[in-house]
Protein backbone atom coordinates (compact mmCIF):
# COMPACT_ATOMS: atom_id res chain seq x y z
CA UNK A 1 0.00 0.00 0.00
CA UNK A 2 1.11 3.53 -0.73
CA UNK A 3 0.43 6.45 1.56
CA UNK A 4 -1.58 8.78 -0.66
CA UNK A 5 -4.67 10.87 -0.01
CA UNK A 6 -6.48 10.43 -3.34
CA UNK A 7 -6.01 9.33 -6.91
CA UNK A 8 -8.18 10.48 -9.82
CA UNK A 9 -8.09 8.29 -12.92
CA UNK A 10 -8.40 10.61 -15.92
CA UNK A 11 -9.92 9.20 -19.12
CA UNK A 12 -9.07 11.94 -21.63
CA UNK A 13 -6.51 14.74 -21.96
CA UNK A 14 -9.24 17.32 -21.29
CA UNK A 15 -10.37 15.35 -18.24
CA UNK A 16 -6.78 15.36 -16.89
CA UNK A 17 -6.40 19.11 -17.56
CA UNK A 18 -9.67 19.81 -15.74
CA UNK A 19 -8.54 17.72 -12.78
CA UNK A 20 -5.16 19.49 -12.67
CA UNK A 21 -6.80 22.90 -12.67
CA UNK A 22 -9.27 21.83 -9.96
CA UNK A 23 -6.43 20.44 -7.81
CA UNK A 24 -3.27 22.42 -8.68
CA UNK A 25 -1.21 20.71 -5.97
CA UNK A 26 -2.01 17.21 -7.23
CA UNK A 27 0.77 15.24 -8.96
CA UNK A 28 0.44 13.61 -12.38
CA UNK A 29 1.29 9.95 -12.44
CA UNK A 30 1.68 7.78 -15.54
CA UNK A 31 3.54 4.46 -15.17
CA UNK A 32 4.42 5.45 -11.60
CA UNK A 33 7.92 3.94 -11.67
CA UNK A 34 9.47 7.20 -10.45
CA UNK A 35 6.55 8.52 -8.43
CA UNK A 36 5.92 5.34 -6.45
CA UNK A 37 9.60 4.92 -5.59
CA UNK A 38 9.49 8.53 -4.39
CA UNK A 39 6.43 7.82 -2.25
CA UNK A 40 8.27 4.95 -0.58
CA UNK A 41 11.09 7.44 0.15
CA UNK A 42 8.69 9.96 1.69
CA UNK A 43 8.19 12.26 -1.34
CA UNK A 44 4.57 13.47 -1.81
CA UNK A 45 3.39 11.23 1.02
CA UNK A 46 -0.31 11.80 1.74
CA UNK A 47 -0.68 13.73 -1.52
CA UNK A 48 -3.29 13.82 -4.27
CA UNK A 49 -2.57 12.20 -7.63
CA UNK A 50 -4.03 12.32 -11.12
CA UNK A 51 -3.37 9.22 -13.17
CA UNK A 52 -2.99 9.64 -16.94
CA UNK A 53 -2.09 6.00 -17.55
CA UNK A 54 -5.50 5.06 -18.99
CA UNK A 55 -5.68 7.94 -21.47
CA UNK A 56 -5.68 6.31 -24.91
CA UNK A 57 -4.84 9.63 -26.66
CA UNK A 58 -1.50 9.58 -24.83
CA UNK A 59 -0.44 6.18 -26.18
CA UNK A 60 1.07 5.00 -29.44
CA UNK A 61 3.48 5.83 -32.24
CA UNK A 62 2.61 6.97 -35.76
CA UNK A 63 4.02 8.80 -38.79
CA UNK A 64 2.10 11.78 -40.14
CA UNK A 65 1.72 12.88 -43.78
CA UNK A 66 4.95 14.92 -43.55
CA UNK A 67 6.82 11.78 -42.37
CA UNK A 68 7.29 13.23 -38.90
CA UNK A 69 7.27 10.57 -36.18
CA UNK A 70 4.96 11.05 -33.21
CA UNK A 71 5.61 9.18 -29.97
CA UNK A 72 2.86 9.71 -27.45
CA UNK A 73 4.27 10.24 -23.95
CA UNK A 74 2.28 7.39 -22.37
CA UNK A 75 4.03 4.89 -24.65
CA UNK A 76 6.01 2.36 -22.62
CA UNK A 77 9.61 1.42 -23.34
CA UNK A 78 8.58 -2.09 -24.40
CA UNK A 79 6.08 -0.61 -26.86
CA UNK A 80 8.90 1.50 -28.31
CA UNK A 81 11.14 -1.55 -28.51
CA UNK A 82 8.51 -3.50 -30.46
CA UNK A 83 7.44 -0.63 -32.74
CA UNK A 84 8.06 -1.28 -36.44
CA UNK A 85 8.08 2.48 -37.05
CA UNK A 86 10.90 2.98 -34.55
CA UNK A 87 12.80 -0.08 -35.81
CA UNK A 88 12.58 1.13 -39.40
CA UNK A 89 13.03 4.89 -39.06
CA UNK A 90 14.82 5.69 -35.79
CA UNK A 91 16.46 2.45 -34.64
CA UNK A 92 18.95 4.55 -32.67
CA UNK A 93 16.19 5.17 -30.11
CA UNK A 94 16.17 1.45 -29.35
CA UNK A 95 19.75 1.68 -28.05
CA UNK A 96 18.62 4.32 -25.56
CA UNK A 97 15.68 2.44 -24.07
CA UNK A 98 16.77 -1.19 -24.25
CA UNK A 99 18.74 -1.04 -21.00
CA UNK A 100 16.25 0.96 -18.98
CA UNK A 101 15.48 -0.85 -15.74
CA UNK A 102 14.44 -4.48 -16.20
CA UNK A 103 11.62 -6.00 -18.18
CA UNK A 104 8.94 -5.04 -15.60
CA UNK A 105 10.05 -1.40 -15.62
CA UNK A 106 10.12 -1.31 -19.44
CA UNK A 107 6.58 -2.73 -19.42
CA UNK A 108 5.14 0.10 -17.35
CA UNK A 109 7.63 2.99 -17.46
CA UNK A 110 6.90 5.57 -20.16
CA UNK A 111 8.95 7.83 -22.37
CA UNK A 112 6.93 10.83 -21.16
CA UNK A 113 7.75 10.03 -17.56
CA UNK A 114 11.43 9.63 -18.48
CA UNK A 115 11.45 13.20 -19.80
CA UNK A 116 9.10 14.85 -17.28
CA UNK A 117 10.89 13.52 -14.18
CA UNK A 118 13.53 16.10 -15.12
CA UNK A 119 16.38 13.78 -14.12
CA UNK A 120 19.79 14.26 -15.72
CA UNK A 121 20.40 10.50 -15.42
CA UNK A 122 17.39 9.49 -17.55
CA UNK A 123 18.39 7.38 -20.55
CA UNK A 124 15.92 8.39 -23.28
CA UNK A 125 16.41 12.21 -23.26
CA UNK A 126 19.96 12.32 -24.69
CA UNK A 127 18.82 10.45 -27.80
CA UNK A 128 15.73 12.67 -28.04
CA UNK A 129 18.00 15.72 -27.83
CA UNK A 130 20.15 14.20 -30.58
CA UNK A 131 17.07 13.75 -32.75
CA UNK A 132 16.00 17.37 -32.07
CA UNK A 133 12.75 15.97 -30.68
CA UNK A 134 9.96 18.41 -29.93
CA UNK A 135 7.81 18.35 -26.80
CA UNK A 136 4.14 19.20 -27.38
CA UNK A 137 2.46 20.68 -24.35
CA UNK A 138 -1.31 20.96 -23.96
CA UNK A 139 -3.24 23.03 -21.41
CA UNK A 140 -6.78 24.35 -21.08
CA UNK A 141 -7.38 25.72 -24.58
CA UNK A 142 -3.63 25.98 -25.22
CA UNK A 143 -1.08 24.04 -27.24
CA UNK A 144 2.60 24.82 -27.66
CA UNK A 145 5.75 23.11 -28.89
CA UNK A 146 9.27 23.29 -27.50
CA UNK A 147 12.44 21.37 -28.31
CA UNK A 148 12.80 18.70 -25.60
CA UNK A 149 16.21 20.24 -24.84
CA UNK A 150 14.57 23.52 -23.76
CA UNK A 151 11.61 21.87 -22.05
CA UNK A 152 13.88 21.48 -19.00
CA UNK A 153 13.90 24.42 -16.57
CA UNK A 154 16.14 22.98 -13.85
CA UNK A 155 16.63 19.56 -12.27
CA UNK A 156 13.23 17.93 -11.75
CA UNK A 157 11.40 21.02 -13.05
CA UNK A 158 9.92 21.13 -16.53
CA UNK A 159 8.40 24.11 -18.35
CA UNK A 160 4.83 23.14 -17.41
CA UNK A 161 2.25 25.61 -16.11
CA UNK A 162 -0.73 24.61 -13.95
CA UNK A 163 -3.05 22.45 -16.01
CA UNK A 164 -0.44 21.60 -18.68
CA UNK A 165 0.92 18.20 -19.60
CA UNK A 166 3.15 16.67 -22.24
CA UNK A 167 0.90 15.24 -24.95
CA UNK A 168 3.21 14.38 -27.85
CA UNK A 169 6.85 14.00 -28.81
CA UNK A 170 7.66 14.73 -32.45
CA UNK A 171 10.77 13.74 -34.37
CA UNK A 172 10.80 15.66 -37.63
CA UNK A 173 11.62 13.89 -40.87
CA UNK A 174 14.59 16.17 -41.59
CA UNK A 175 16.02 15.37 -38.16
CA UNK A 176 16.11 11.60 -38.58
CA UNK A 177 16.21 10.96 -42.33
CA UNK A 178 19.74 10.00 -43.38
CA UNK A 179 20.98 10.02 -39.78
CA UNK A 180 22.37 7.11 -37.77
CA UNK A 181 22.87 7.10 -34.03
CA UNK A 182 23.75 5.16 -30.96
CA UNK A 183 23.47 5.60 -27.17
CA UNK A 184 25.91 4.15 -24.68
CA UNK A 185 25.00 4.02 -21.02
CA UNK A 186 27.91 3.56 -18.66
CA UNK A 187 26.68 2.33 -15.29
CA UNK A 188 28.29 0.44 -12.45
CA UNK A 189 26.04 -2.59 -13.08
CA UNK A 190 24.82 -3.99 -16.40
CA UNK A 191 21.14 -3.92 -15.41
CA UNK A 192 18.82 -2.01 -13.08
CA UNK A 193 21.26 0.85 -12.58
CA UNK A 194 21.25 4.51 -13.54
CA UNK A 195 23.85 6.05 -15.83
CA UNK A 196 27.17 7.30 -14.47
CA UNK A 197 27.42 8.95 -17.89
CA UNK A 198 25.17 8.31 -20.87
CA UNK A 199 26.26 9.43 -24.32
CA UNK A 200 24.28 9.61 -27.52
CA UNK A 201 25.70 10.39 -30.94
CA UNK A 202 23.44 11.08 -33.93
CA UNK A 203 25.21 11.86 -37.17
CA UNK A 204 24.97 12.11 -40.93
CA UNK A 205 27.82 11.54 -43.36
CA UNK A 206 28.79 12.80 -46.76
CA UNK A 207 31.26 10.29 -48.16
CA UNK A 208 33.93 9.96 -45.51
CA UNK A 209 33.17 13.32 -43.89
CA UNK A 210 30.86 14.16 -40.97
CA UNK A 211 28.15 16.30 -42.51
CA UNK A 212 26.32 16.76 -39.20
CA UNK A 213 26.75 15.47 -35.67
CA UNK A 214 24.76 15.85 -32.48
CA UNK A 215 26.38 14.68 -29.25
CA UNK A 216 24.27 14.54 -26.09
CA UNK A 217 24.92 13.41 -22.55
CA UNK A 218 23.06 12.12 -19.52
CA UNK A 219 24.53 12.87 -16.08
CA UNK A 220 27.26 15.17 -17.46
CA UNK A 221 25.60 18.26 -15.96
CA UNK A 222 22.48 19.15 -13.99
CA UNK A 223 20.27 18.41 -17.03
CA UNK A 224 20.46 16.25 -20.15
CA UNK A 225 22.60 18.30 -22.54
CA UNK A 226 24.09 18.71 -26.00
CA UNK A 227 27.83 19.26 -26.48
CA UNK A 228 27.31 22.14 -28.88
CA UNK A 229 30.82 23.55 -29.06
CA UNK A 230 32.23 20.08 -29.80
CA UNK A 231 29.57 19.52 -32.46
CA UNK A 232 30.56 22.75 -34.25
CA UNK A 233 34.20 21.70 -34.38
CA UNK A 234 33.36 18.25 -35.73
CA UNK A 235 31.21 19.18 -38.71
CA UNK A 236 33.16 18.65 -41.93
CA UNK A 237 35.82 16.52 -40.26
CA UNK A 238 37.10 13.38 -41.97
CA UNK A 239 36.00 10.12 -40.39
CA UNK A 240 38.91 7.99 -39.28
CA UNK A 241 40.29 6.24 -36.22
CA UNK A 242 41.84 9.46 -34.95
CA UNK A 243 38.43 11.15 -34.95
CA UNK A 244 36.95 8.44 -32.75
CA UNK A 245 39.86 8.78 -30.33
CA UNK A 246 39.79 12.58 -30.08
CA UNK A 247 36.16 13.69 -30.40
CA UNK A 248 35.35 13.10 -26.72
CA UNK A 249 38.11 15.48 -25.61
CA UNK A 250 36.35 18.25 -27.52
CA UNK A 251 33.25 17.66 -25.35
CA UNK A 252 35.00 18.37 -22.04
CA UNK A 253 34.46 22.17 -22.12
CA UNK A 254 30.73 21.58 -22.76
CA UNK A 255 30.06 19.47 -19.67
CA UNK A 256 30.09 20.18 -15.94
CA UNK A 257 30.66 16.80 -14.31
CA UNK A 258 30.82 16.36 -10.56
CA UNK A 259 32.04 13.95 -7.93
CA UNK A 260 29.18 12.20 -6.14
CA UNK A 261 28.83 9.17 -3.90
CA UNK A 262 29.09 6.87 -6.91
CA UNK A 263 32.18 8.08 -8.84
CA UNK A 264 34.70 10.91 -9.01
CA UNK A 265 34.63 13.91 -11.33
CA UNK A 266 37.83 12.61 -12.93
CA UNK A 267 36.24 9.27 -13.77
CA UNK A 268 33.23 11.02 -15.31
CA UNK A 269 35.59 13.21 -17.37
CA UNK A 270 37.30 10.08 -18.61
CA UNK A 271 33.91 8.71 -19.71
CA UNK A 272 33.08 11.98 -21.47
CA UNK A 273 36.37 11.59 -23.33
CA UNK A 274 35.87 8.02 -24.48
CA UNK A 275 32.12 7.47 -24.94
CA UNK A 276 31.41 9.87 -27.86
CA UNK A 277 33.97 8.18 -30.11
CA UNK A 278 32.64 4.74 -29.22
CA UNK A 279 29.03 5.79 -29.77
CA UNK A 280 29.92 7.46 -33.08
CA UNK A 281 31.80 4.38 -34.30
CA UNK A 282 28.88 2.16 -33.30
CA UNK A 283 26.39 4.49 -35.01
CA UNK A 284 28.38 4.51 -38.25
CA UNK A 285 28.73 0.73 -38.23
CA UNK A 286 24.95 0.65 -38.73
CA UNK A 287 25.18 2.86 -41.79
CA UNK A 288 25.33 1.30 -45.25
CA UNK A 289 27.34 4.27 -46.39
CA UNK A 290 30.84 3.58 -47.70
CA UNK A 291 32.13 5.64 -44.81
CA UNK A 292 32.15 2.43 -42.76
CA UNK A 293 35.00 1.16 -44.95
CA UNK A 294 36.98 4.30 -44.26
CA UNK A 295 37.37 3.30 -40.62
Ligand X SMILES: Cc1cc2nc3c(=O)[nH]c(=O)nc-3n(C[C@H](O)[C@H](O)[C@H](O)COP(=O)(O)OP(=O)(O)OC[C@H]3O[C@@H](n4cnc5c(N)ncnc54)[C@H](O)[C@@H]3O)c2cc1C
Q: List contacts with ligand X (CB under 6 A).
A: 27-35, 37, 52, 73, 100-101, 105, 109-110, 112-114, 116-117, 122-123, 160, 165-166, 192, 194
Identity of the residue, 161 or 240, whose beta carbon is nearer to ligand X in the bound complex: 161
109: closest CA among 30, 5, 22, 182? 30
CB-wise, 169 or 284, nearer to ligand X? 169
151 and 158 Cβ atoms separated by less than 8 Å: yes
Instruction: Tell me the C-alpha distance between 104 and 122, whole Å.
Output: 17
By DSSP bridging, strand 152-154 and strand 61-63 are unpaired
- Indicate the residue whose CB is closest to ligand X: 113
Comparison of 191 and 209: residue with beta carbon closer to ligand X: 191
118 φ, ψ to 5°?
Answer: 70, 25
CB of 289 to ligand X, least distance (A): 30
Report the nearest approach of ligand X to the CB of residue 294 (Å): 34
**Distance of closest approach, residue 206 Cβ to ligand X, in angstroms:** 33
Distance CA(201)–CA(219), nearest Å, equals 15
Which lies closer to ligand X via its Cβ, residue 78 or residue 114?
114
Q: Closest distance between ligand X and the C-beta of residue 290, in Å?
A: 35
Task: Give me the DSSP letters along 130-184.
Answer: HTT-EEEEEETTEEEEEEHHHHEEETTEES--TT-EEEEEEE-HHHHTT-EEEEE
Question: Residue 150: how many CB atoms within 10 A of its CB?
Answer: 11
In whole angstroms, the minimum distance from the beta carbon of 82 to ligand X comes to 16
Q: Is 107 exposed, middle or buried (0-12, 13-18, 19+ CB in 10 A)?
A: middle
Residues sharing a CB contact under 8 Å with residue 22, sequence separation 6 or more, in sequence order? none
Whose CA is closest to 32, among 94, 114, 119, 123? 114
Bridge pairing between strands 152-154 and 157-158: antiparallel
Q: Give the shortest CB-269-to-ligand X separation in angstroms.
A: 22
Nearer to ligand X, 52 or 227 (CB): 52
Q: Shortest gap between Cβ of 245 and ligand X (angstroms)? A: 28
Write down the least CB distance from residue 218 to ligand X, Å. Answer: 8
Q: 149 or 231, CB closer to ligand X? A: 149
Nearer to ligand X, 114 or 282 (CB): 114
HSE (CB half, 13 Å, CA atoms) of 39? 17
The DSSP letter of residue 239 is P
- Report the distance separating Cα 160 and Cα 151, nearest Å: 8
| Residue with Cβ nearer ligand X (105 or 292) | 105
Amino acid sequence: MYDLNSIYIAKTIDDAIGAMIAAPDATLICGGTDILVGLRDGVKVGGDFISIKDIEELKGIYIDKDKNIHIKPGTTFNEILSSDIIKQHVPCLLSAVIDIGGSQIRNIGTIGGNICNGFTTADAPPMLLGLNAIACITGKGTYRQKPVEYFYVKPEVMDLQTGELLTDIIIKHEDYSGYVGHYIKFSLRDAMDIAIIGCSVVCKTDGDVLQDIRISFAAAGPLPMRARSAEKQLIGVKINVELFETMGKLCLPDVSVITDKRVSKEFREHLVEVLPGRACKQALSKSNDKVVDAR
